[in-house]
Amino acid sequence: MTFSIEEVKKELAVRMPDIKLRTIRDSLLIENPENLPRVAVFLKENPAFLLDYLSSVTGADYLNYLESIYHFYSMAKKHGPLVLRVRVPKHSATVPTLVPIYRSAELQEREAYDTFGIVYEGHPDLRRLFMWEGFEGYPLRKDYAQEDSETLETADVSWLEARGVTVPAEMKQKAQELRDSGERALAQKPLKPRN
Amino acid sequence: MGFTKNKAGVDTPLRTELAKKGVVWTTLDFLYNWGRRSSIWPMQFGLACCAFEMIAAACARYDIARFGAELFRASPRQADLMIISGTVTKKMAPQVVRLYNQMPEPKYALTMGACAISGGPFIDGYNVLRGIDRYIPVDVHLPGCPPRPEALLHGLMELQKKIASQEIQKTAWYQKGLKREFPIPEFGPNGLIPKFNPEVWQPSKENPRREHYGQTILVGKKLKAPDLELAAAPQPAAPGAAA
Amino acid sequence: MIRGIEFYLDMIFVTAKGWILGLLGRFLPDWMIVLASIVMSSVAILALGPVIMMYLTLLERKLIGRIQNRYGPNRVGKWGLLQPIADGIKMFTKEDIVPANADKIVHLLAPIVIVVPALMVFLVVPFGERMTAVDLNIGLLFFIAISSITILPIFMGSWASRNKYSLLGGMRTAAQLISYEIPMTLAVVPAIMMSQSLSTNTIVLSQTGDYGLRWFIFTPWGIAGFVVFFLCATAECNRPPFDLPEAESELVAGFHTEYSGMKFALFYMAEYMNAFTLCGIAATLYLGGWQGPFLPSWLWFFGKTFLLICVMIWFRGTLPRFRVDQLMGFAWKFLLPLALINILVTALWQFTSHFTAWLGSLLILAVSFWGLVQLNRTFVPEKRRYPLES
Amino acid sequence: MKETFNFKNAGNAETLEINFGPQHPSTHGVFRMVVQLNGEKICGLKPVFGYLHRNHEQIAENLPYAAMMPYTDRLDYVNALANNFGYALAIEKLAGLEVPERAEYIRVMMAELARVVNHITVIGFMLNDLGAFFTPLLYAFRERERILDLFEEITGSRLMCNYLRPGGVKRDLTDAHLAAIRAIVTKFPAFLKEFEALLTKNEILCMRCQNIGILPVDAATNAGITGPVLRASGVNYDIRKVDAYSIYNRFDFKIPLGQKGDAYDRYYVRVLEIRESLKILEQALAKIPQGDIVNKKAFPLLKMPRNFKPPVGEAYARIESPKGELGYYLVSDGTPQPWRYHVRAPSLINLTLLEEMCLGQKIADAIIILGSIDIVLGETDR
Amino acid sequence: MTFGMGVLKGMIVTFKNFAASYLCKRDEGGIFTVQYPEEREKAIENFRNFPFLVYDGTPEKLRCVACGICERECPPKCIYIVMEMDNARKPARKPAVFDVDYGLCMNCGICEEVCPFDSIFMDHDFEVTTLDSRTDLVRHKEALSRSNEYFQKIRPLFASAIDQKRKAAEEKKKTPPQNTGGQALQPPAAQGLP
């Protein structure tokens, strides 16, 4: 890295004094996510940095908030990385997209949307990347509850019976019990835990 | 959509009846089985890592062609054997079942590798199907991660042995009124609907893994998030990795 | 006149047939003998076709195996010799699936229709001296007419399957086969011009010379005509590098994607029988058919045909596939002009003396080849540099 | 559930929508493209991912650091060792571990062998996509088997090596191993010559690949495309040179660049890269020192570090994997399991411009373009 | 006029390979195939497939003490151990149940690496298949136990080194111990074995 994080901070403070930044280790946290595209354009076009290559976009769940983390490099000047991060609350996780500036964000933002539910505003094609449309929940969030793969639920039972498959009585009964208690069949904790 | 199990039996009186005119049937059986087992054309269908070992088995060193099985057909209509080589994800499972349905009888399925058998190393994932035998009957299970190409050849020979022991009157696909077509699962909000096909597979009563570890490894469920700001500054990087 | 053993070996099939007919003649009326003769020929062909097809598949698998440093099928029977039979039994007992939306009658008809012309072409192939089933005086015309029927069943099958891959494969077939028909027909013309006959037998006889070695391929126009004909033949029977209709890496299985069991086997069979007859005709036209010194005539014929088939298999083992527009371009912009010029060269050959003919025709062919390459710059690889930077 | 794809001219009666994949002979596994065709010409292409989404990142957050190593093998299963390398670097960066000299040499050698394996395999598969009936692939696999034998001898497995450890490697190389590597390095150029004679000047291959799927430089950098695909477009960006991670600055090697950025350049740049890798291997064989193979200070007893807890922090390590930039992002919370684990997969990001590259080309070209980009689904979908 | 030469060159290459398949030996470009069931290639010592348990002498004398380290470290969690209890309901330091689910095992070799008692190793046997049902793939203790001789046979260098190490450790035990078990805990691989 031929520049330090402080240089970037200083330069940004001069050019865009309204943007609040905070240094977290080797990275810069942009306090207001709305400012992210401006910072990105600045970094991309400023001849001192020329960060023309957005290597990685990823999300992370810190229980109270979600984070979107960006790793920038420069192909022209062969330096980097500069790490930017923005934090958004879980209930309204919207971050402006970087796709108009960096095409490389396209699939990665879709991935972060898929796994963490971070909505990238302005993304041209924000669909789930890996999971299917209609999948509920964001599986990499720490509070994601996985389904139990061995217990049939009423939806399964009715689906199977509509197709002429006989479902054993005890499975039917268990599904009905679950339904009556208003619970979903979720992955269970170990019965005899080892660790 | 009618469905019956793989093993359809012939009632005993009929069998004794047949035993009398054994010679013809035995010869027929032999010819039929010999033809089928000497010309098993697999489907060109690779899922994941194991597919590479499957290709390696078709390549010069192992040469599956010696068994007459090198004609990997891309169209399921012309294939006899489906080598399920790799992780079947929940997103992929409907397609696998559909492909199996599209194959003409007699057809066989071989699960190659731990992932296809049980979910393997990825068993705890939210998008990983825990064994394709939940939806379709599997003829040969071939463990390993991935199995060596030789192991695939071994599996193929096991399948040949299995075919050789079949009898033409008892094979499921020649029974009257039976249609071996398996319902194709659909995408649901949390996973596949149904979770398994109880006519093909049912969870076993004893499942030590489930008892010991639960259905997901819950070790990683943490209650406290790290605070990168408060923690000490990072140590200098290894000198070998100097920029 | 005393004849050597070669003659009797040569005539072994003809003599056998004559002997059987003579035997039958003792207690059958004359018209029945004619019928018996016809039946015997057709039975021979009907048996020969499938057997040749089956063992061609084995040959192909073995040869490609060897090209790829492996054995190929060798466990089913000695050297894998029973492999095609096992394949046959399996195919025969496979379930026949007709897609729910398919046009059922056409779907059924297509594989049947494709085998018939493939078998009919056998009629005019001269397998040996006096071993042409029907020595038509318009043999070649018959061959060209019948072999072009192949387009129809392929398109029928692809349309009836209601599968998008099949449809694309069918469209490709129609385009490809029609385009390659033209240079192929034109490449036949020089041989007709030289022998002044459309009968396959006469064409072979006109290549007799000393030791039966005056083959047309030993002339400049013969080489050009043979190359054009052989390339077109490869394309006509959908063999690589012209196997676009069933391009496996693009269209899954092309026009026969939805065919299973015996119907698929029939498509397969037609493809290999076409390959055999086309190679046989190529041998007839330019390689002197059954002509050749010392060995029996039918051995010469089969030897030449199998050699050509081996070349086709060799192509398959080596070459990547053309793209559809390049394929058409190759036929229309390259093979067609070359075939036309070749007709001109053949005409010149007939009217000039020996030395001038050689020089002139070689010159014309070379210049036109060079010119065609220059006109089709897209076929010529670009030269590139790859800088190595630190 | 009805899937929707935002095709530009959807509903046009002239066009035909076709699914390539997830089961298709040349989508390299279970990749799926929904292609909109006008005749044979492509007027829209949407990739669909996730058919091999094996929840790599979720599993990592539930497993100890070192136990994740075998899973990284399964990311890009053609060159497991490169994945190991990147992950080991990330852990070392996180924990500030040093790696002994000999281990560094071994790592570089294994990574370069993996690159050779990857490149010949890719070329073989690309030729398969072109329609060559397996021959180039089988020749490539023949040589690959020789290298895999070596991997098996050294690491214990043909594909899933699980060889690197945080702070070192699992098993030392004996003289016999080094001799075997030397034998491969000396024999390989002959094979490469044969391979090139079969392919490089082949008119059909040139016709099919030249000027197909041209990737302009600006678009490539903007879309974050890396690896041989980027270098074929003429951008001199190789992380082995830029970051000089591990000990790559000690070797003398060049970076081959393409000029046009089409499928043919991508093919040929790979061939040239194999040559450069062989150069690196030669130098490494000459220079490899004696010594430890694992950081003795950090792991005095066990190489497989149990209860290994890096301090709280984050690290992003990237390497030049044969596919492109392979990055690992790790956040540690001081427990044996990482808090967040992310893989920046080159196979996924290199596909960003797939549609743009394919528009206006024929179907057959789309398949070559996909083949020339070199994806492995294990990594694309993770 | 070089048009077509590239194709011809390629065809020569394939023809050479074709001819070599009849004329040359395996390493010189001839047929590369090893005809698997009859011919096998020389086993590679370090190859790892599925785990097995080693016993010395009789199958009862398993080296395994059911400590459960491998069970804990196994990434896909395919090992299940239950410690045997003696009459006093105290741990008997040997497994009552030792199951490995071959249908789940990922052949990573981590169990072998972490085992401090040199009791679990990776086998060479890859001919493991079951028909129809996958439950047979869960191997129990009896099926997993192999003698030390077998181990010596499949991995001679490695096994003999381990034997030497064990012997040395035993002798050390007889003499008054100085550092408690530190050397014994060291896995074999750490000693720079092949």
Q: Which of B1-5, C163-167, D14-18, D316-320 has the highest mean pLDDT?
A: D316-320
Taking the C-alpha atoms of residue B125 and residue B119, their distance in angstroms, rounded to an integer, is 9
Does pLDDT of B183 surpass 80?
A: yes
Place B214 in a pLDDT band, splitting at 50, 70 and 90. Answer: low
E119 alpha carbon, distance to own chain's centre: 11
Written as one string, the DSSP assignment of D176-219 is HHHHHHHHHHHHHHHHHHHHHHHHTT-HHHHHHHTTSS---HHH
Cis (ω within 30 of 0) for the bond into A89?
no
Place D329 in a pLDDT band, splitting at 50, 70 and 90. Answer: very high
**Domain-embedded: residue C21:** no
Arithmetic mean of pLDDT, D232-248: 87
Does pLDDT of E192 surpass 60?
A: no
Closest to D156 (Cα-Cα) out of E140, E184, E111, B152: E111
> Where are the alpha helices (H) located in chain A, listed in sequence order?
5-15, 36-45, 105-116, 154-162, 169-180
B163 alpha carbon, distance to own chain's centre: 17
Taking the C-alpha atoms of residue E97 and residue B46, their distance in angstroms, rounded to an integer, is 37
**Domain-embedded: residue C190:** yes
What are the structure tokens assigned to A150, written together? 């061995």
**Domain-embedded: residue C293:** yes
Model confidence pLDDT, tens digit, residues C287-308: 887 877 777 778 888 888 889 9
Does pLDDT of C182 surpass 60?
A: yes
Cβ contact D237–A54 (<8 Å): no
Interface-testing mutation among A77, A138, A149, with chain B (most B C-beta atoms within 10 A): A149
Q: Print the domain residue range for C351.
A: 51-375
For B174, counting Cβ atoms within 10 Å of its Cβ (0-12 exposed, 13-18 middle, 19+ buried), the class is: middle
Cβ contact D153–E45 (<8 Å): yes
Arithmetic mean of pLDDT, D339-352: 89
What are the structure tokens assigned to C320, written together? 């990547």
Torsion sign, CA atoms E5, E7, E13, E15: negative
Model confidence pLDDT, tens digit, residues D192-220: 888 888 888 888 888 888 888 888 888 88
3-state class (DSSP) for residue D149: helix
Question: Would you call C333 an interface residue with chain D, using a CB distance cutoff of 8 Å?
Answer: no
A174 alpha carbon, distance to own chain's centre: 35
Cβ contact E1–C373 (<8 Å): yes
For D167, counting Cβ atoms within 10 Å of its Cβ (0-12 exposed, 13-18 middle, 19+ buried), the class is: buried
Q: Give A194→chain E minimum CA distance, Å.
A: 8
Does pLDDT of E186 surpass 80?
A: no
Taking the C-alpha atoms of residue D195 and residue D186, their distance in angstroms, rounded to an integer, is 16
pLDDT of residue C45: 79
Place B241 in a pLDDT band, splitting at 50, 70 and 90. Answer: very low
Taking the C-alpha atoms of residue C361 and residue C347, their distance in angstroms, rounded to an integer, is 10
Contact C365, C220 (CB under 8 A): yes
Question: Would you call B45 an interface residue with chain D, using a CB distance cutoff of 8 Å?
Answer: yes
Strands A27-30, A79-89: pairing kind: parallel
Looking at the structure, tell me whether residues A87 and A149 fall in a common domain: no
Taking the C-alpha atoms of residue D308 and residue D97, their distance in angstroms, rounded to an integer, is 12
Chosen CATH of E51-170 out of 3.30.70.3270, 3.30.1490.270, 3.20.20.105, 1.10.260.40: 3.30.70.3270
Return the ∠ at Cα B66 (arms to B63 and B72), rounded to 5°.
65
Q: How many domains are there within chain A?
A: 2
D141 vs B228: which has the higher pLDDT: D141
Percentage of chain C exceeding pLDDT 70 = 97
C93 vs C8: which has the higher pLDDT: C93
pLDDT of residue E180: 46
In A, residues 94-153, which contact E (CB 8 Å cutoff)? none
Place B216 in a pLDDT band, splitting at 50, 70 and 90. Answer: low
Place B4 in a pLDDT band, splitting at 50, 70 and 90. Answer: very low
Beta bridge partner(s), residue D320: D325
Arithmetic mean of pLDDT, E51-55: 88
Cis (ω within 30 of 0) for the bond into C241?
yes
Closest to B233 (Cα-Cα) out of A180, E108, D289, D313: D313
Residue C160 phi/psi, 5-degree rounding, is: -70, -25
Model confidence pLDDT, tens digit, residues B134-149: 888 888 998 888 888 8
Q: How many domains are there within chain C?
A: 1
Per-10-residue mean pLDDT for chain A, 195 residues long? 77 83 84 87 85 89 88 85 88 89 89 90 87 86 81 85 85 86 73 54
Establish how many alpha carbons lie within 13 A of residue C252's alpha carbon, considering only the half-sphere containing its beta carbon: 28
Question: Would you call B62 an interface residue with chain E, using a CB distance cutoff of 8 Å?
Answer: yes
3-state class (DSSP) for residue B74: coil
- Show the 3-state SS of chain C: CCCCHHHHHHCHHHHHHHHHHHHHHCCCCHHHHHHHHHHHHHHHHHHHHHHHHHHHHHHHHHHHHHHCCCCCCCCCCHHHCCHHHHHHHHHHHCCCCCCCCCCHHHHHHHHHHHHHHHHHHHHHCCCCCCCCCCCCCCHHHHHHHHHHHHHHHHHHHHHHCCCHHHHHHHHHHHHHHHHHHHHHHHHHHHHHHHHCCCCHHHHHHCCCCHHHCCCHHHCHHHHHHHHHHHHHHHHHCCCCCCCHHHCHHHHCCHHHCCCCHHHHHHHHHHHHHHHHHHHHHHHHHHCCCCCCCCCCHHHHHHHHHHHHHHHHHHHHHHCCCCCHHHHHHHHHHHHHHHHHHHHHHHHHHHHCCHHHHHHHHHHHHHHHHHHHHHHCHHHCCCCCCCCEEC
pTM exceeds cut of 0.90: no
Chain B residues touching residue E137 (CB < 8 angstroms): 117, 141, 143
Q: Which chains contact D through at least 3 pairs of Cβ atoms less than 8 Å apart?
A: A, B, C, E
In D, residues 22-61, which contact C (CB 8 Å cutoff)? 24-26, 37, 40
What are the structure tokens assigned to A179, written together? 């339904």
Question: Would you call A195 an interface residue with chain E, using a CB distance cutoff of 8 Å?
Answer: yes
Of A155, A165, A191, the CB nearest to B199: A165
Whether the ipTM is more than 0.90: the answer is no
Q: Give E38→chain A minimum CA distance, Å.
A: 43
Arithmetic mean of pLDDT, B60-81: 86
pLDDT of residue B78: 86
Taking the C-alpha atoms of residue B197 and residue A157, their distance in angstroms, rounded to an integer, is 10
Taking the C-alpha atoms of residue A119 and residue A97, their distance in angstroms, rounded to an integer, is 9
Of B123, B148, B158, the CB nearest to E76: B123
D186 vs C217: which has the higher pLDDT: D186
Model confidence pLDDT, tens digit, residues B100-135: 988 888 888 899 888 888 888 888 888 888 888 888
Looking at the structure, tell me whether residues A29 and A94 fall in a common domain: yes
Does pLDDT of E142 surpass 70?
A: yes
Taking the C-alpha atoms of residue C243 and residue C176, their distance in angstroms, rounded to an integer, is 10
Give Cα separations from E186 to D302, E52, E55, E189 (angstroms).
6, 20, 19, 8
Question: Would you call E123 an interface residue with chain B, using a CB distance cutoff of 8 Å?
Answer: no
Question: Would you call D249 an interface residue with chain C, using a CB distance cutoff of 8 Å?
Answer: no
Question: Would you call D349 an interface residue with chain A, using a CB distance cutoff of 8 Å?
Answer: yes
In B, residues 210-239, which contact D (CB 8 Å cutoff)? 216-220, 222, 224-228, 231-232, 234-239
Closest to D130 (Cα-Cα) out of C245, C319, C331: C319
**Domain-embedded: residue A132:** no
Of E9, E73, E189, the CB nearest to D67: E73
Model confidence pLDDT, tens digit, residues D276-285: 999 999 999 9
What are the structure tokens assigned to D376, written together? 């492995």
Q: Print the domain residue range for A149.
A: 145-189
3-state class (DSSP) for residue D241: helix
- Number of helices (H), then strands (E), belonging to chain B: the values are 7, 5
Place D328 in a pLDDT band, splitting at 50, 70 and 90. Answer: very high
**Domain-embedded: residue C41:** no
Q: Give the total residue count for chain C.
A: 390
Does pLDDT of D176 surpass 60?
A: yes
**Domain-embedded: residue C30:** no
Amino acid at B241: A
Percentage of chain B exceeding pLDDT 90 = 0
Give Cα separations from B67 to B28, B141, E34 (angstroms).
22, 19, 13
Contact D346, D325 (CB under 8 A): yes
The shares of helix, strand and coil residues in chain D, as percent rounded to the nearest 5, are 45, 15, 40
Taking the C-alpha atoms of residue D108 and residue D87, their distance in angstroms, rounded to an integer, is 14
Class in CATH terms, B27-174: alpha beta
Does pLDDT of B194 surpass 80?
A: yes
Model confidence pLDDT, tens digit, residues C28-58: 777 777 888 788 878 887 888 888 888 888 8
pLDDT of residue E177: 52
Does pLDDT of E182 surpass 50?
A: no
Does pLDDT of B233 surpass 70?
A: no
Place E156 in a pLDDT band, splitting at 50, 70 and 90. Answer: confident
Cβ contact E130–B141 (<8 Å): yes
| Residue-wise burial string across C286-301, b where 16 or more C-beta atoms lie within 10 A, e elsewhere | bbbbbbbeeebbbebb
Of E33, E97, E127, the CB nearest to B151: E127
Contact A71, D316 (CB under 8 A): yes
**Domain-embedded: residue A169:** yes
Establish how many alpha carbons lie within 13 A of residue E42's alpha carbon, considering only the half-sphere containing its beta carbon: 4
**Domain-embedded: residue C351:** yes
Give Cα separations from D185 to D113, D181, D284 (angstroms).
9, 6, 11
Arithmetic mean of pLDDT, E21-40: 82
For D9, counting Cβ atoms within 10 Å of its Cβ (0-12 exposed, 13-18 middle, 19+ buried), the class is: exposed
Q: What is the mean pLDDT of chain D?
A: 86
Beta-strand runs (E) in D56-206: 164-165, 168-169
Model confidence pLDDT, tens digit, residues B29-56: 888 888 888 888 888 888 888 888 888 8
For B58, counting Cβ atoms within 10 Å of its Cβ (0-12 exposed, 13-18 middle, 19+ buried), the class is: buried
Q: Please report the domains of chain D, with CATH numbers, ordered by start residue.
A: 56-381 (1.10.645.10)
Taking the C-alpha atoms of residue B115 and residue D57, their distance in angstroms, rounded to an integer, is 17
Q: Give D20→chain C minimum CA distance, Å.
A: 9
Taking the C-alpha atoms of residue E76 and residue B128, their distance in angstroms, rounded to an integer, is 13
